[in-house]
């Protein structure tokens, strides 16, 4: 199975922050044949261990890729059976109106995020974004049936199948950040054919979209010597500034800034050049807002790097990636792990 095929399958599963179990099962099925051990920790992070060669204790390298997605939670059931919802994570109201969703009640219900018809909307209302509190879901059932099947607190997941575009591109939901989970899958496959002298711990983390929680707890439990976070970054598109984005198809963007250990950054660039892997540089002058932040400050501090897969239309249901970037990111992760000298890793922490 290619990284693209893996992403197609895993992106369509429901996995709103805090409820990632179904996604974790699918990821485990794909990762397990490629590693030595797999476990799920108390918070729900999926932790896969691939042992290296050489005497123990070996340095530990953690690859963090979050598997949760943004979504909604039911707040109340209104007259007529309409569901009032609130966001879980960074929902942009502009791109969810009239979208199909799945309500995860006592049984799953398909519905749509309703909207006021434009014919009844005043000119003043047309100038303003729809307030979040005005969002509602219509599942088409009478109120009494809705109340029998749905309760406040039930989750609402965006419903979107992945679509293959021309030029090797793929569009769908939850590519933030299951595109990076797919890159990690590609890396683990590469590492079955490469020798490495460090232990690799690939972690599909939970609850990144609501505060980096899974990376915080798993980094404490794993206690890595080096952390490599993989997330998505902004790809070039209209209205996105060139100096804040990367080129789709140009390979992973390697972050450089206070959230990143400079030696890890230099090492990633060296490995990419040595193996002819396309890559880009991403200036990150502040907090990156990724699992890299949680990794860096875990325990007494972890030497951390960040690879970003270029992504268009982030936090929408048409997030778009280039298959070449998935594979290049996976190749660079594998090249970095296989090229790590245990002595160099230990030197980062002295």
Residues tagged in the binding site annotation for Zn(2+): 66, 176, 209, 231, 315
Distances (CA, A) of 173 to 31, 32, 127, 179, 279: 21, 25, 28, 10, 24
Rg of the Cα trace of the chain? 21
Distances (CA, A) of 126 to 118, 131, 134, 239: 8, 12, 14, 22
**DSSP-derived 3-state class of residue 74:** strand
Binding-site positions read 66, 176, 209, 231, 315
List the one residue out of 38, 63, 9, 286 whose CA is nearest residue 190. Answer: 63
Tokens linked to 298: 């875990």
Q: Is 161 exposed, middle or buried (0-12, 13-18, 19+ CB in 10 A)?
A: exposed
Tokens linked to 184: 């990690």
Tokens linked to 290: 């990724």
CB atoms under 10 Å from CB of 239, counted, come to 4
Backbone phi, psi, residue 71, to 5°: -175, -150
Q: Which string of DSSP letters, residue by residue, matches 116-170?
A: --GGGS-HHHHTSPPPGGG-EEE-SS-HHHHHHH--TT-EEEE----EEPGGGEE
DSSP state of 81: S
Overall residue count recorded for the chain in this entry = 350
CB atoms under 10 Å from CB of 229, counted, come to 33
Angle at 227 (CA atoms; ends 219, 282), nearest 5 degrees:
130
Q: CA-CA distance, 47 to 183, in Å (whole number)?
A: 16
Active site residues: 208
Angle at 324 (CA atoms; ends 318, 330), nearest 5 degrees:
105
């Amino acid at each position: 199975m290619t990284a693209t095929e893996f992403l197609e399958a895993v992106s369509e599963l429901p996995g709103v922050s805090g409820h990632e179990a179904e996604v974790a099962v699918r990821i485990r099925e794909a990762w397990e044949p490629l590693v030595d051990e797999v476990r799920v920790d108390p918070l729900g992070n999926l932790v896969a261990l691939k042992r290296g060669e050489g005497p123990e204790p070996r340095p530990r390298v953690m690859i963090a890729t979050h598997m949760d997605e943004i979504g909604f939670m039911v707040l109340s059931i209104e007259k007529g059976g309409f569901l009032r919802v609130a966001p879980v994570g960074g929902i942009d109201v502009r791109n969810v109106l009239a979208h199909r969703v799945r309500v995860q009640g006592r049984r799953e219900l398909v519905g749509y995020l309703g909207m006021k018809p434009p014919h009844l909307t005043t000119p003043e209302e047309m100038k303003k974004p729809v307030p979040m509190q005005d969002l509602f879901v219509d599942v088409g059932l009478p109120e009494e049936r809705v109340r029998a099947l749905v309760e406040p607190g039930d989750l609402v997941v965006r419903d979107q199948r992945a679509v293959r575009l021309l030029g090797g591109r793929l569009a769908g939901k939850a590519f933030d950040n299951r595109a990076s989970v797919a890159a990690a899958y590609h890396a683990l496959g590469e590492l079955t054919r490469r020798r490495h002298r460090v232990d690799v711990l690939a972690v599909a983390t939970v609850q990144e979209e609501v505060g980096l929680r899974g990376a915080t707890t798993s980094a404490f439990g794993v206690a890595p010597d080096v952390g490599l976070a993989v997330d998505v970054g902004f790809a070039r598109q209209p209205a996105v500034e060139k100096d804040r984005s990367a080129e789709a198809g140009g390979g992973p963007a390697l972050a450089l800034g206070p959230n990143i250990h400079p030696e890890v950054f230099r090492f990633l660039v060296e490995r990419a050049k040595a193996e002819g892997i396309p890559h880009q540089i991403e200036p990150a002058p502040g907090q990156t807002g990724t699992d890299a932040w949680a990794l860096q400050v875990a325990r007494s501090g972890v030497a951390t790097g960040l690879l970003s897969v270029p992504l268009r239309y982030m936090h929408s249901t048409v997030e778009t990636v280039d298959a070449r970037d998935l594979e290049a990111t996976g190749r660079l992760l594998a090249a970095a792990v296989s090229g790590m000298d245990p002595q160099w890793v230990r030197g980062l922490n002295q």
